[in-house]
Amino acid sequence: MKNINIFYNSKKGKLEGEKIKYSTTSLLQSSYIYQQKDNLNNLEKIIYEVEFHDNDVTEGDSGGLFFGISSIYPGKVGKEFHMTKGHKHKKNDTGEYYWGLRGIGKLLMVFENNTYEIQDVFEGSLHYIPGKTAHRLINVSKNKLSVGACWQSESKHDYDCYFPIRVIENGDGEIEYVNCST
Ligand code: PAN
Ligand code: ZN
C-alpha cells in the first residue's frame, strides 16, 4: 500500500489530502426520520455529510476497516435537532468506535434488548458502540458537530431500526428527551 497523504484539518474541521470521498444526506433523503414530515422547507439542504478515506477496501469484505468523519450541520426539523438516519450493522456482531472532534452532540445507542443509552459527544469524547446496537448521532448545538468513526468493512448498514427516544428543544430552549413509539 502507498503512503497515505491525508489528514484532519482541525481548524477547518475537514479531511484534506488525497483519497477522500464524500457523501451527503439532504433533508429530502432523511425527512422520514423526523416526527414533523409535512410543511418542510428547503428539502435540498444538507443535514449531514460523511468524509471517507478511500482505502480501496470493498464493503462486505472481511478483515478491513473503514474510517470516516461525520458532520451534522446545526438546526432542527420541527422541535427535533438534526440527526443521522441511524442504523445497525448488518453483520450484527461488529462494533464501532466514534470520537468527538468538534461541536456538542448526543450519541443514542439502542441495544439488542431494546434498552438505550445517550452519551454526550464533545471534542475528545470516545464512544464504543457494541455489535447489535442501533446508533444515531444528534447535533444539539448551534455549531457543526463532527465525529470520527471507525468500523469493520464487513459491517454494512441496516437502516431498518427503531429509535425509541427523540431529542428535542423544548419551549424553554432546553434539550429534552421524549419517548416515542414511531
Ligand atoms: C457512520 C455513519 C454516518 C452516517 O459512518 O454511517 O455517521 O450515519 P447514517 O449511516 O446513520 O446515515 C457509521 O456509523 N458507520 O458505521
Ligand atoms: Zn455504524
Q: Are 67 and 149 in contact (CB under 8 A)?
A: yes
Q: What is the Cα–Cα distance from 81 to 78, expressed in whole angstroms?
A: 8
Q: Are 2 and 33 in contact (CB under 8 A)?
A: no
> What is the pTM assigned to this prediction?
0.96
CA of 75 to the centre of ligand 2 (A): 22
Q: Minimum-distance ligand to the CA of 68?
A: 1
Ligand 1-lining residues (CB < 6 angstroms): 25, 50, 68, 70, 84-87, 96, 135, 137, 149, 151, 155, 157
Q: Are 98 and 137 in contact (CB under 8 A)?
A: yes
CA of 65 to the centre of ligand 2 (A): 12
* 37 band by pLDDT with thresholds 50, 70 and 90: confident
Grid cell 433523503 is found at 29
Sheet holding 65-72: strands in order across?
20-26, 46-53, 65-72, 145-152, 96-102, 126-129
The whole-number pLDDT of residue 97 equals 98
Q: Which protein residue has the closest C-alpha to ligand 1 atom 3?
A: 70
Q: What is the pLDDT of residues 129-172, one digit of tens each?
A: 999 999 999 999 999 999 999 999 999 999 999 999 999 999 99
Report, as an integer, the average pLDDT of 122-132: 98
**Which atom of ligand 1 lies nearest, measured to the CA of 159?**
11
Mutate to test the pocket of ligand 1, among 21, 28, 65, 87 (most ligand atoms within 8 A of CB): 87
Q: Which protein residue has the closest C-alpha to ligand 1 atom 4?
A: 84
The whole-number pLDDT of residue 81 equals 98
Average pLDDT value for the chain: 95
Q: Minimum-distance ligand to the CA of 154?
A: 1
Q: What is the Cα–Cα distance from 123 to 99, expressed in whole angstroms?
A: 8
Q: What residues have CB less than 8 Å from 159, skipping those under 6 apart? A: 85, 86, 87
CA of 64 to the centre of ligand 2 (A): 15
